Homo-oligomer: A and B are copies of this chain.
């Protein structure tokens, strides 16, 4: 079996590493050519946070820049790029008709609708990934910072290949499964992220502060309550995620801290578009959306 993994960030490398461990051949497509040269030369290193020894995987791995994209010989495609590179990647993928299943490992929801339009024949799978992953600074590779799950489910069409892939990954020690109602799971993840990410980015605090600081918690609950106008979910789900990631910085907090563009369009932006369709108002989500986009915009300003 051979899969293409598009995007060699933390998540792309994590998925590639466990696929390789499962004996699956991996074509890893990188944004920059240097990274694929390094990966072909030194292999991909996986560091499990609870183990001392980094494991370097090179058997079955071939890396290449996304510019040399090809569908040849593939059984499945996994897309694991940031939202902000999605349009570019979909543009490249859509140039060659794909008939094998394409699984998206991205935050948010909007990308599935975009993929539906630009990718014609392929079965499409959405997924929710809660494994923790962080790029290694010492190696070309990834640190598996926390065990979670990877749940994929059909968005359009069905494929036994995906079930086989998830089973193989699961056997390699990477909790993975196929899910019936992936849309619901993705929505719930998005809703939880919409509570945690903008607030932690705005306050520049670790996730745990949203429970530990009673005033921040009050605001988190108010945002949660507003989101339930368009996506039904439980406060307990938010609490559970915060407890499990108590000491982490959310991705949006990191992005803001490092002066990078965030995924706010895919998160609060998506909620606001839902709200507009259903003609409900979301003053807090709207405020948070503008706040994060405003902060992004002010990176270069004199404060």
Interface residues of A (CB under 8 A from B): 202-206, 209, 212-216, 218-219, 222, 226, 283-284, 286-287, 290-291, 293-295, 297-298, 301-303
Q: Are B284 and A216 in contact (CB under 8 A)?
A: no
- Residue numbers in B under 8 Å from A226 (CB-CB): 283
Q: When A222-B287, A284-B287 are in contact, do A301 and B209 touch as well, CB less than 8 Å?
A: yes
Q: Are B202 and A297 in contact (CB under 8 A)?
A: no
Q: Are A203 and B295 in contact (CB under 8 A)?
A: yes
Q: Are A287 and B290 in contact (CB under 8 A)?
A: no
Q: When A203-B298, A284-B287, A287-B222 are in contact, do A215 and B303 touch as well, CB less than 8 Å?
A: no
- Residue numbers in B under 8 Å from A214 (CB-CB): 294, 297
- Residue numbers in B under 8 Å from A205 (CB-CB): 298, 301, 303
The distance from the CB of A206 to the nearest CB of chain B, in whole angstroms, is: 7
In the complex, 20 of the A-B residue pairs with CB atoms within 8 angstroms, ordered by the A residue number, are A202-B202, A203-B291, A203-B294, A203-B298, A204-B303, A205-B303, A206-B303, A212-B301, A213-B298, A213-B301, A215-B291, A215-B293, A216-B294, A218-B290, A219-B290, A219-B294, A222-B283, A283-B284, A284-B287, A287-B287
Cα distance A277–B284 when bound, in Å? 22
The distance from the CB of A296 to the nearest CB of chain B, in whole angstroms, is: 8
- Residue numbers in B under 8 Å from A291 (CB-CB): 202-203, 215-216, 219
- Look across to chain B and name the residue whose beta carbon is closest to the beta carbon of A226: B283
- Residue numbers in B under 8 Å from A203 (CB-CB): 291, 294-295, 298
Q: Which of B206, B215, B283, B284 contacts A297 (CB 8 A)?
A: B215
Q: When A222-B283, A283-B284, A284-B283 are in contact, do A209 and B290 touch as well, CB less than 8 Å?
A: no
The distance from the CB of A124 to the nearest CB of chain B, in whole angstroms, is: 33
Cα distance A284–B290 when bound, in Å? 13
Cα distance A47–B215 when bound, in Å? 41
- Residue numbers in B under 8 Å from A284 (CB-CB): 283-284, 287
Apart from the given pairs A202-B291, A213-B301, 4 other A-B contacts in the complex at a CB distance below 8 Å? A212-B301, A213-B297, A214-B294, A284-B284
- Residue numbers in B under 8 Å from A286 (CB-CB): 222
